[in-house]
Amino acid sequence: MPNEPIDTRAKILEAAVQVFAQKGYHETRMDDIVNESKTSKGSLYFYFPSKQDIFFGLIETFTGLLESRLKEAIAAEQHGSEQVDSALTASLRLFSQYRTLAKIVLVQAVGLGAAFEERRRTINDRFAAIIQARIEKGIQDGSLPKQNADLAARAWVGALNEIVIYWIYTGTPDLETAIPEIKAFLLRSIGVGNK
């Protein structure tokens, strides 16, 4: 094991974000990441045996961030309807804040083959499950009308994915500015305001 500070892994991931963003996944060589991160080849291969491992590391970083933001947002609210509202704000803020990382995870991961696609599906499932549980809580505590929470959660994941990817490609609508509109649309879909 290379004798380096414990944040070497984080440094490599940060460098990889920059290099993938500039050159794209396919064009990036491991050496580019060594140079950008100012670490050694030995360290890089110790933490990440392949370029794909780095990519998966970035996906985990991003989904980890998203999950912890969601957890905080949900813990701060009592009723299911407030929890979904607050979870939506937290996710959209995170995407807006980490546009470069989101671009790599959401856009570059598409078209990279079956292994990536499977990972993407698993992540979608995980976030759909989080949303579903909050909608179900809302139905239970009476803050949301009865509905198919599974279907709604699935639809939200798809809708958010498409909105964020479109924003990454085109820059419109400005995500931070559009948060109230996106929330109004999605909350309407699950019957917030017309129980």
User: Which residue bears the tokens 């980490």?
Assistant: 98
Task: Quote the distance between the C-alpha of residue 115 and its chain's center.
Answer: 18
- Selected from 10, 112, 133, 168, the binder of a copy of itself by CB under 8 A is 112
Question: Taking CB under 8 A as the rule, does residue 106 contact a copy of itself?
Answer: no
Say how far apart CA 184 and CA 182 lie, in whole Å: 6
Nearest alpha carbon to residue 61 among 48, 73, 49: 48
Contacts of 16 by beta carbon, 8 Å cutoff, 6+ apart = 28, 33, 36, 37, 54, 55, 57, 58
**Residue 186 CB, nearest approach to a copy of itself (Å):** 7
Nearer to a copy of itself, 4 or 150 (CB): 150
Would you say 10 or 155 has its CB closer to a copy of itself? Answer: 155
**10 vs 178 by CB, closer to a copy of itself:** 178
Of the pair 34, 106, the CB lying nearest a copy of itself is at 106
Whether 9 and 58 have beta carbons less than 8 Å apart is answered as: no
Q: Which is nearer to a copy of itself, 140 or 148 (CB)?
A: 148
Residue among 17, 114, 122, 135 that touches a copy of itself (CB under 8 A): 114
Position 185 contacts a copy of itself (CB under 8 A): yes
Quick check: 18 binds a copy of itself (CB under 8 A)? no
| Among 162, 171, 174, 177, interactor with a copy of itself by CB under 8 A | 162
With CA atoms as reference, report the closest residue to 75 among 160, 144, 165, 137: 137
Residue 155 engages a copy of itself in binding (rule: CB under 8 A):
yes
Cα–Cα distance, 4 to 1 (Å, whole number): 9
Under the binding rule (CB under 8 A), the answer on residue 194 touching a copy of itself is: yes
Q: What is the dihedral of CA 140, 123, 117, 158, to 10 degrees?
A: 40
Q: Smaller CB distance to a copy of itself: residue 33 or 182?
A: 182
- Is 154 in contact with 127 (CB distance < 8 Å)? no
Structure tokens at 123: 């992540």
**Does residue 174 bind a copy of itself (CB under 8 A)?**
no
- Residues 124-143 interacting with a copy of itself (rule: CB under 8 A): 124
